[in-house]
Amino acid sequence: MKLSRREVLKAAAASSAMMAISGPFSMVREAAADEPDQWVKSVCRFCGTGCGVMVGIKNGKCVTVKGDPNNHNRGFLCLKGALMPPIVYSKERVTRPYIRRNGKLEPASWDEAMGLVEKKFKEALAEGGPTAIGYYGSGQALTEETYLASKIFKAGLGSNNVEGNPRLCMASAVGGYVTTFGKDEPCGSYSDIDAATCIMIIGSNMSECHPVLFKRVASRKQADPNVKIIVIDPRRTNTARIADEHVSFKPGTDLAILNSMAWVIINEELDSPRFHGKYVNFMTNDKKKVDFDAYMKFLEDYTPEKVEKISGVSAAQIRKIAKMFGEASATTSFWCMGLNQRIRGVWANNLVSNLHLLTGHIGKPGATPFSLTGQPNACGGVRDTGGLCHLLPAGRLIKKEAHRNALEKQWGIPKGTINPKPGLHTIALWNAFSEAKVKAMFVLCTNPAHSLPNVNIYTEGMKRKDNFMVLSEPFMDAESVKYCDVLLPAAFWCEKRGTYGCSERRYSLLKKSTEPLGECKPDFEILMDFAKRMGVDSRVIPYENIDDVWNEWRMVSAATPYNFSGMTRERMEKASGILWPCPTEDHPGTKIRYVRGEDPNIPKDYPKKYNFYGKPDGRAVIWFRPYKGAAEEPNEEYPMVLTTGRVIDHWHTGTMTMKVPELRRSFPAAYVEVNIEDAKAKGIQNGDNVLLETKRDKMVFRAKVSDVCRPGLIFVPWYDANLMINKLTLNAIDKGSKQPEFKICAVRISKA
């Protein structure tokens, strides 16, 4: 059906609002307005679902977007993906460079702006050496952009201070996969949803944050009502509303619940000794290899009765969900920030994988532990190509000499070029910038002045005169623009070419479909200009165009289990995404890793069915991870828990979705979700102003009284630049992954 623009927008606004209150089905196939002259294949700019889109072009402008019927989303998009055009042509677009002079951003030429960037970075290097500069990038930058930036800093400028927002997002998932399997990234694919008979969703509000993927889950349930859905979340989200069992619990205690599920599974004989006897090692928290009996002993602290007291979940419900998980013929788990953004984020990730390794629900269609990625290219760019301070491309580590040397050889640069010391992780990097120990920072495709936790510290640091921040950003009203010293006009989405890799290891090519506005440039060009001005060795940046970077990445990945050799640009032009590993041009891509016959990294004559080749003996690890409290538990002064997160119609800091009238109307301002009982006890009515106070700051929000949060818990969405909840959140981090605990801090609320 073809709808007029008005009809589409009307339907959009209505379904969007409906989505927020009632259900997961606000999908559209096409938000068509003007009939385009041409359709160009691309990928949605937003979430890690990675929906394929077709960009409709008329007279050289992007006029509409529809779903790519040949990609995994089968033509469906949520409203964010479908309503892109007004963002591209927003009046807030930055279309020329700016330099801050006497506190005000003033227009400048590219040469002046980049000249100043060069001067400041060279001064910082001269004064403090390579550790005095840094790069802070994004899981929304293209793969090639992140690969290039990381190479410029690590191989060209000697600085491992390369970080990005995935540290706030996926670091615990990386830590979880690497400790459990020895290799990062999920081992299954989206098609596991279609074969699963039990789906456990924990710490993920999939219906709002991965809507098109959630539609696939909901369709699976509709097609077969015997498919069981378990949702483990302290809020009764839209996602929870389709669950057979919604488990609400005291925030942070899910580590105890997951251990308790393991206890039940073993005691009900639902584990698979044939699997774990052959393919699993049991390891204590201090890395001692022990036996199955030791694991059972460890789990004795987590009987359902004991965990009921810790978590507030009845022993009966814990038994019930554990049986659902274990009895199903194929169980798939999904998780996201509810587990990752925690000071025990890595442990929480391990505990989900434990359940799969214990039961053998892995490596079969419908059975996999699947970490959902947030951003469209956190997997692709940052995780795979090594855009963090301790990583090198394809899972190699900076601290390993053999890894550095192998890469130096592939890159054709002298042995010993790469600094053996990892750089500063995100929070340490921004702390150092705030103390002007790091003096020059390149910020690209992220808005840290809004998204960092306990953000007042960092915005104060950005105000200093003795440090320097250059920001590449398409929109004038992004919070970080207020603090940058140089602003560069970034080309946006359809104005550039490159790849995104989504949650399921699927890489898709985004083709350029329009010319950049005004003087905007793709980040690739900006980074190349920067590198040349900084005098980076031409052997480090031997590229004429972005396709050259891709081809180098294919080569660099080839000798590793990532292996992108078969993904030539020609093939990517036609395909609607391919899943790695993909070793040859005729290889179809890989849906299941670690299984002989499925994963091309395992020889056909390998004697066993599974091989967790990330580990020396091919066995994955079941870890003993104890439950421990949050970094800041509620106390007398701050008796409640504050959690933060997302709503369906806004993307992060709102710089993009706030520009779409329909999305903005759907959620115009941040609010605080309060449970009915708590509201009653405090005399708070729906719509009242409520004061929130944490140790760090205070702020007033309108109350939304509902049954979504459990008593004792409040939720604030963090998209609103006028009501930045990150002034109140905590910057405590996971010891292993260095990811902040955005999901839990102590708060006091009162009627304002």
H or E segment and range at residue 106: strand 104-107
- Residue closest to 632 by CA, chosen among 696, 582, 540: 696
> Which does residue 77 bind out of ligand SF4, ligand MGD, Mo ion, none, counting CB within 5 to 8 angstroms by kind?
ligand SF4
Position 221: which residue type?
K
Among ligand SF4, Mo ion, ligand MGD, none, what does residue 655 contact (CB within 5–8 Å per kind)? ligand MGD
Cis amide linkage into residue 474, ω under 30° from 0: no
Give the footprint of ligand MGD on residues 700-719 (CB under 6 A). Answer: 718
Contacts of 145 (CB under 8 A, 6+ apart): 137, 381, 444, 445, 498, 522, 523, 524, 527
Task: Classify residue 510 as exposed, middle or buried by CB count within 10 Å of its CB (0-12, 13-18, 19+).
Answer: buried
Using DSSP's 3-state secondary structure scheme, residue 102 falls into coil
Smaller CB separation from ligand MGD, 474 or 501 = 474
Bridge partners for 263 per DSSP: none
For the segment 36-95, give every residue that binds ligand MGD (CB under 6 A): 47-48
Minimal distance, residue 31 CB to Mo ion, in Å: 25
Q: Is residue 656 part of the contact set for ligand MGD (CB under 6 A)?
A: yes
Residue 746 sits in the site that holds ligand MGD (CB under 6 A): no
- Give the range of 54-62, 584-592, 595-603, 725-733 binding ligand MGD by CB under 6 A: 725-733
Please report the DSSP string for 699-726 in residue order.
Answer: EEEEEEEESSBPTTEEEEE---TTS-GG
H helix intervals, 534-658: 546-558, 569-574
Asked if 515 and 60 count as a contact pair (C-beta separation under 8 A), the reply is: yes
Q: Give how many residues touch Mo ion by CB under 5 A.
A: 2
Q: Is position 347 an interface residue for ligand MGD (rule: CB under 6 A)?
A: no
The DSSP H or E segment spanning 131 is none
Q: How many residues bind ligand MGD (CB under 6 A)?
A: 61
Q: How far apart are CA 303 and CA 562, in angstroms?
A: 40
Q: Which is nearer to ligand MGD, 579 or 730 (CB)?
A: 730
User: Between β-strands 745-751 and 245-247, what pairing exists: parallel, antiparallel or unpaired?
Assistant: unpaired
Q: How far apart are CA 695 and CA 746, in angstroms?
A: 8
- Amino acid at position 707, single letter: D
Q: Which is nearer to Mo ion, 675 or 739 (CB)?
A: 739
Q: Rule CB under 6 A: which of 503-542 touch ligand MGD?
A: 523
237 binds ligand MGD (CB under 6 A): yes
Residues belonging to the active site: 80, 169-170, 337, 374-375
Does 643 engage in binding with ligand MGD (CB under 6 A)? yes
Question: String of b and e for 63-86 (b: at least 16 CB within 10 Å)?
Answer: bbbbbbeebbbebbbbbbbbbbbe
Residue from the set 182, 251, 345, 374 that interacts with Mo ion by CB under 5 A = 374
Site for ligand MGD in 121-160 (CB under 6 A): 138-140
176 belongs to the binding site for ligand MGD (CB under 6 A): no
Interacting residue with ligand SF4 among 49, 311, 349, 514 (CB under 6 A): 49
| Chain position carrying tokens 């999939």 | 206
Nearer to ligand SF4, 493 or 553 (CB): 493
Read off the tokens for 35: 């009939």
Q: Which amino acid is at 310?
A: I
Q: Does 336 bind ligand MGD (CB under 6 A)?
A: yes
- Alpha-carbon distance of 111 to 518, in angstroms, equals 15
Please list the alpha-helical segments (H only) found in 182-291.
192-195, 206-209, 211-223, 254-267, 273-279
Measured from the CB atom, the residue of 360 and 369 that comes closer to ligand MGD is: 369
Kindly state whether residue 81 participates in binding ligand SF4, applying the rule CB under 6 A: yes
* Given 444, 487, 672, 749, the residue binding ligand MGD (CB under 6 A): 444
**Any contact of residue 647 with ligand SF4 (CB under 6 A)?**
no
Q: What 3-state class would DSSP assign to 673?
A: strand
In the list ligand MGD, ligand SF4, Mo ion, none, the entry touching 94 (Cβ below 5 to 8 angstroms by class) is none
Which residues of the shown chain bind Mo ion in the complex (CB under 5 A)?
Answer: 169, 374
Which residues of the shown chain bind ligand SF4 in the complex (CB under 6 A)?
Answer: 44, 46-47, 49-51, 73, 77-78, 80-81, 210-212
Which residues of the shown chain bind ligand MGD in the complex (CB under 6 A)?
Answer: 47-48, 138-140, 165, 168-169, 202-205, 208-209, 232-235, 237, 251-252, 254, 336-339, 341, 374-375, 444-448, 451, 472-475, 478, 490, 492, 523, 643-646, 648, 650-653, 655-656, 718, 725-726, 729, 742-744
